[in-house]
Structure 1
Amino acid sequence: MVNRGSHHTRSFSSTSKSVSRKPSFFTITLCIILLSACSIFTFLFSIRNISDDDDHQKDRLVEHSESHSQSKSQFQSESQSLPVKVDRLAWLHLALLPILQVPDEQLWDVSFSYGLHPCVKPTSEYQAAQGSDRYITVRSNGGLNQMRTGISDMVAVAYIMNATLVIPQLDKRSFWQDSSTFSDIFDELHFITSLQGDLRIVRELPKELESVPRARKHFTSWSGMGYYEEMAKSLKDYRVIHVAKSDSRLANNDLPLDIQRLRCRTLYHALRFSMPIEILGKKLVERLRSRGGRYIALHLRYEKDMLSFTGCTYGLTDAESEELRIMRESTNHWKVKKINSTEQRIGGLCPLTPKEVGIFLQALGYPPSTLIYIAAGEIYGGNIHLSELMSRFPNLVFKETLATKEELKAFTSHASQTAALDYIISVESDVFVPSYSGNMARAVEGHRRFLGHRKTITPDRRGLVKLFDKLESGRLREGSSLSSRVQQMHKSWQGAPRKRKGALPGLKGRARLRTEESFYENPYPECICSSKAV
């Protein structure tokens, strides 16, 4: 402070010596006028530059949007779908909305894994099944992932009952009417040989047993060791036991460690997809990587059957809502026929709409240029609904745009096989986002946890609906305020390591088992160990 003051004094003295008299009033006025003119000129020049930059940026955004629209239109003409109508001005407005700037590592990097790693080896006490002349046949029900987890359960059940497992028959009566056999979807030989140290698996029943009486059982859902040990005793007089359904036949919790690890060995190692699926799946991942390096796999659960099953009609026309109601009431095995769509949505029980997914991803901080792979079947309403997502994220990719017609030809009429492609691409993605917590979403999340807790962002649908309703009513606007709320809401919803959740409090009996987190959604701690674990 002293030095600075001394310097100021010396400068002032020197100046006072060189100026012998005060400037005139006219000189001072002229200087002020010149300074003001310079300031105005500088301001106007800056405004012009900013305007030019904005116009240039808008031109680039329009060009980018048109480029993607042309690419998408080409795909739509090939698949004979409805044209996408993207309002360029609306898209520009959305693209330029102020949002909280999010660092790249926060958007893409995996959660800290705390030294956790997969562990599926048997314990020292484990013994392989001794083998017997009793056989279990299975009819797997549901879609691809429901069948996969069900088959893993039945491997464990056959082990517990000390029986030989016959390669399961796959569901051909579901919504998709898929005629695929086990070997069409899975590597059958690998399945048999990789589990030969655990139990005996055969391709089909011996000829002499095809006509013998069978014990046809519908095993109770979420049953434990004691249940199946008792079943083995009560069915000892039967050479063949036929299981009508395979899904959720085994408890999530309170099973021996070796049984849980057997389930993981089956699902993550033995149930490898057939070679044609594996080869094409890996090719498509490589093509996605070559386009942008990083990508989001979005499981957009907005297919006709899902909306009809859940009774969710928000954002649909009256005609679409009526079509879904008719489908639900005419589907015999769907028990609930009358559903209040509004209550479903408020309770977070509806899939997010394509528009809501777009708002969600933008609020998280992902830029419009983000590469997004749509892992889904046919979107209900076609591109009329999909355009609301594309207006925010035009860089959407589908199987049909990523693979050639020739490559997809063998899979076209087999929904389970195309779902397997989606599964591979989703597991390998940088970020996985499911719009609904269905069987695939749970299976992919569990697999990604098993492989190192890869980033999986699960939307808090109940919380988001409240924000979406505020947007619609005008009580909240898109921008930094919405972004901060959404990002704060999902800090703990990104696949970080945690133990599997138990049943909801207050429930008793078997009802509580339904509310437990699926073992296949989070196989920690049984199949995921710390670096110090044996």
Structure 2
Amino acid sequence: MRVYHRGGTMAGCFLLLFPILFPSLFTPLSHASLSVFSEWNAPKPRHSRLLKSALQCQTTSEKQSDLWMPLAYQGWKPCIESAASNLPEKSEGYIQMFLDGGLNQQRMAICDAVVVAKILNATLVIPYLEVNPVWQDSSTFMDIFDVDHFINALKDDVAIVKELPDGLSWSTREYYATAIRPSRIKRAPVHASTNWYLDNVLPVMQSYGIAAIAPFSHRLTFDNLPKNLQHLRCKANFQALVFVPHIRHLGDALVNRLRDPSTKSNMVGSSNYLREVSEKYKQGAGKFVALHLRFDKDMAAHSACDFGGGKAEKLALAKYRQVIWQGRVLNSQFTDEELRNQGRCPLTPEEIGLLLAALGFDNSTRLYLASHKVYGGEARISTLRSLFPLMEDKKSLASSDERALIKGKASLLAAVDYYVSMHSDIFVSASPGNMHNAMVGHRTYYNLKTIRPNMALLGQLYLNKTLSWPDFREAIVEGHKNRQGKIRLCKPKQSVYTYPAPDCMCQG
């Protein structure tokens, strides 16, 4: 059921408030039953003056050429030193990891699991991917990643098996869910040291032949790790993890259609569409921008920011926070203005569109929208589409038959977006997060252009309701000069998955 709120009708407001006023009728709520809070018509544009100016402006050919220029070589290249094979003849036992989070958080945890197995001299069981409470996707490691390539790429570093031997087949997710088990390590500290694993996990593994860590995410330190272990992290992330063939094939098809719209003709079947593309597809021909638009209800609720939907929206998001996180994520103690000044509010489709327009992209730009369901639906996206009419996504680019294998699978959908984004000429993310971090690091590794929005600057600019378009554009260009792929060296406590230099790269 969808509830549409149309500017002040009492019936609409009451429908939205009903589950809040009468919570007993709606408790307990499953994730699926949250549809009562589905998107309603999005509010009017919040930056209509800037939007009007952006729609009237066109970018010169010279500026467009600069935009699409690949990054110059920055003195760093991929460099993962392969140590000589030093696998011991016998492992200490098996290590199981149960990984929570979404696809990109799980990706980083997989790489950490490889390193933990190395530290313990253990045989790693292909990690188990937990079902995320928000995305509700039961896809396994083997559904997403090429498991044979993963095992083969790391065969000289870590012993990896697809499943446990018969004698240990009792060690399952269901087994650990029913009672406290001595072979399970439940409270692994965040960013644990190598010594912690040797002191706390190795004895368990030696006693039972297996140790299971659940949950496992962000459980290995980035600091004071031997160089060979950091290199193994890099090898796992940048070399061992590749998507299954059907994800890569679909991703290649989408990239080809973005680069050459004529290849879409057999699917679209519209001469008008192709004529429109040929007229608008002028500058940056054959090139496209991948935009990761993380603006789903989960992100909107977690941020506690105001997105212009009025009291009904605030109440709906507050209820969503209560149901999904059960009090662990509270209403913010900061005002919306304070949150925006701190750069803590995800950019709406309208705001990311204005950023791109100010940087010089225009209505001839091919834009790939890498996104899960957008909060507010198509109505919320309409302003972005008005700025970039050649915007595409998985649904518009692929046929229903092509999408059949990934339909309803959030992790597989995210994998396609990741693959297409890695092959884009420019990548930009509308908000920091695991996809942003993983993509920034992966594209840094290959010296690809990536625009990192200056969230604090943007928050301040969008709060200024009197700012003219020329001043806005000047502030945007100036504030993003050094945020388009410049290599930043990894600092203490930072992730090598986001900042791969110098651990995963060498100079020269």
Conservation of the 8 A alpha-carbon contact between 2:496 and 2:503: no
Within 5 Å, which residues of 2 pair with 1:139-288?
139-211=98-170, 214-217=182-185, 218-235=187-204, 236-288=206-258
Q: 1:458, 1:493 within 8 Å by CA — same for their partners in 2?
A: yes
Whole-angstrom distance in 1 between the partners of 2:491 and 2:358: 28
Report if aligned partners of 1:311, 1:341 keep a CA contact under 8 Å in 2.
Answer: no
Aligned length: 432
Structure 1 206/364 Cα, relative in aligned 2: closer, same or farther at 3 Å? same
Q: Which of 445, 452, 465 does residue 458 from structure 1 map onto?
A: 452
| From 465, 474, 477, the counterpart of 1:484 | 474
**SS of residue in 2 equivalent to 1:456:** strand
CA–CA separation in structure 1 for the residues paired with 2:308 and 2:330: 20
CA distance in 2, matches of 1:183, 1:388: 39
Equivalent-residue separation in structure 2 for 1:300 and 1:431 (angstroms): 14
Code of the aligned partner of 2:97:
V
> Residue 416 of structure 1 aligns with which residue?
411
Residue aligning to 2:395: 400
| Shift of residue 325, structure 1, vs aligned partner | 1.0
Q: Which of 259, 267, 286 is the equivalent residue of 1:289?
A: 259
Decide which of 308, 323, 327 is 1:330's aligned counterpart. Answer: 323
Cα RMSD (Å) = 2.6
* Deviation string, structure 1 residues 400-428 (Cα, Å, up to 9, x no partner): 00111110011111000010000001111
**TM-score of the superposed pair, with normalisation by structure 1:** 0.76
Shift of 1:123: 4.1
Secondary structure of the corresponding residue to residue 300 of structure 2: helix
Structure 2 counterpart of 1:184, one-letter code: D
Query: Which residue identity does 1:337 align to in structure 2?
Result: L
Q: What displacement does 1:324 show?
A: 1.3
What residue is the counterpart of 2:370 in the other structure?
A: 375
Q: Is 1:449 the equivalent of 2:418? A: no
- Kindly indicate whether residue 344 of structure 2 is the aligned counterpart of residue 349 of structure 1: yes
| Contiguous gaps of at least 5 residues in structure 1 | 1-79, 503-515
TM-score normalized by the length of structure 2: 0.80
- Deviation of 1:90 after TM superposition, in Å, equals 9.9
Name 1:55's counterpart in structure 2.
none
- Tell me the distance in 2 between the aligned counterparts of 1:196 and 1:432: 33
CA distance in 2, matches of 1:349, 1:115: 33
SS of equivalent residue, structure 1 residue 189? helix
Match of 2:56 among 89, 96, 104: 96
Matches within 5 A, 1:112-127: 112-123=72-83, 127=86
Which amino acid letter does the alignment assign opposite residue 107 of structure 1? L
CA contact (8 A) 2:92 2:121 kept: no
Specify the SS of the correspondent of 1:331: helix
Supply the AA of the counterpart residue of 1:258.
Answer: N
- Of 94, 108, 112 in structure 2, the residue corresponding to residue 135 of structure 1 is 94
Aligned-partner SS, 1:445:
helix
Give the Å deviation of 1:316.
2.7
Partner Cα distance (2:71, 2:89) in 1 = 42
Report the Cα offset of residue 366 of structure 1.
Answer: 1.3
Give the percent of matched residue pairs that are identical in Structure 1 and Structure 2: 36
Residue 502 of structure 2 corresponds to residue 525 of structure 1: yes
Whole-angstrom CA distance in 1 between matches of 2:351 and 2:50: 16
Q: Deviations over 1:422-459 (max 9, x none)?
A: 000111111110011100110011000111x2111111
- CA-CA distance at 1:496 after TM superposition: 1.1
Shift of 1:109: 2.1
Q: From the superposition, tell whether residues 308 and 390 of structure 1 become closer, same or farther in structure 2 (CA, over 3 Å).
A: same
Relative to structure 1, the CA distance from residue 289 to residue 499 in structure 2 (aligned partners, 3 Å threshold; closer, same or farther) is same
Residue 389 of structure 2 aligns with an amino acid whose one-letter code is: P
- Report if the CA contact (8 A) 1:347-1:462 is conserved: yes
Contact 1:214 1:240 in 2 (8 A): no
Q: Which amino acid letter does the alignment assign opposite residue 261 of structure 1? A: H
Q: How many angstroms does 1:91 deviate by?
A: 7.3
